[in-house]
Amino acid sequence: MDPSYRNPLSEQFNIGYQWALNNSSVLEVDYVHVLGLHENKTVNINPVDPNDPNGGRPLDNAFAAAGVPVLGSVRVEESVNRSRYDGVNFSFHQRMTRRFSLNANYTISRAMGWAIQSGWPLVGSGFRNYPHDPRNLWDPLDFGPTPNDERHHVTISGLVQLPWGFEFSPILQFGTARPYDLNEGYDVLGIGSGYSRPLIVPINDPKNYLAFADSSLAPPNDALTCLAAGQCRQVGYDTVRGRAFFQLDTRVAKNIKLGENRNLQLMFQAFNLTNKTNYGNNFDNTATSDTFMTPAGYINPTSSSIPRAFVGEFGARFTF
């Protein structure tokens, strides 16, 4: 641990405006800004020197002089990282009018941060954040959208009171695709830290993500040679995106009045009514894998209980 390590903090502010269109509906607009400071970054302070034919490391001599075993990778937890979120929310609310109520929300946002080395899609720009090259902590290639960056999100819900005591309550969610990172699957830069970023592509064929994927046919030196010759470039952090999210949940209820103060409600709830497969950004991101850039699981956004397939349930509620 860095002796000057600090707890992370965030600076936040928001500004909003509400406009009552009439007695039953209101329009809201809000801007939200969050700046994360003193976040974690894991730095290898003893990487291999790729220019040393013996594979030496910066601290080799210091270990030897101290009479202790010469260690390999030495990783220090530092509180120097940061991230940023900016979003604008548009909301429309209409309370029950003519047997109908509606809530509609649209968010356009951007979440940016410094790369996590592994590129695991469920983690943001937070703890165990590795730079792809510890010799250059703030390489612009490591800065990009965080794995939970969702530029556009729409949520629409409502309640419709139908004849004969029936109620219909749909909830629709849509979110544009979230990003995920790509890596080669082996130590591309030859720095002995186990880092598998970055992915290298030819400049004249920037979508050829498998150009150096086979380490036996295209060893790291080939990728480095291509970079040195200016014929290849490194792919930046979180430059590809998965698939959009869509889900429709619905509840249908029947109210049966049993006198003035008693009511029996019979209901059926359907989650993921369209049985949409939501992979999100949970994709295999390692170029050496046979399943590279294919779905590896399902998205389960935090703070939401998202079924992976259609789920239905019946229920009843008696109030008195």
- pLDDT one-digit tens code per residue, 16-32: 999 999 999 999 999 99
- pLDDT one-digit tens code per residue, 180-212: 989 888 888 888 766 677 889 999 999 999 988
The pLDDT assigned to 222 comes to: 83
Q: Which of 112-126, 151-165, 254-268 has the lowest mean pLDDT?
A: 112-126
For residue 146, count other CB atoms closer than 10 A to its CB. 23
Question: Is pLDDT above 90 for 170?
Answer: yes
Distance CA 208, CA 202 (A): 7
The pLDDT assigned to 205 comes to: 93
Distance CA 195, CA 43 (A): 11
Q: How confident is the model at residue 87 (pLDDT cuts 50, 70, 90)?
A: very high
Q: Which of 2-6, 29-33, 58-62, 220-224 has the lowest mean pLDDT?
A: 220-224
**Is the model more confident about 118 or about 313?**
313
Handedness of CA 39, 283, 148, 177 (dihedral sign): positive
- pLDDT one-digit tens code per residue, 103-132: 999 999 999 998 755 444 444 455 677 888
Handedness of CA 86, 178, 302, 6 (dihedral sign): negative
Q: Model-level pTM?
A: 0.84
Residue type, 196: S
The pLDDT assigned to 218 comes to: 53
Domain locations along the chain? 9-199+235-319
H/E element, 220 = helix 220-228
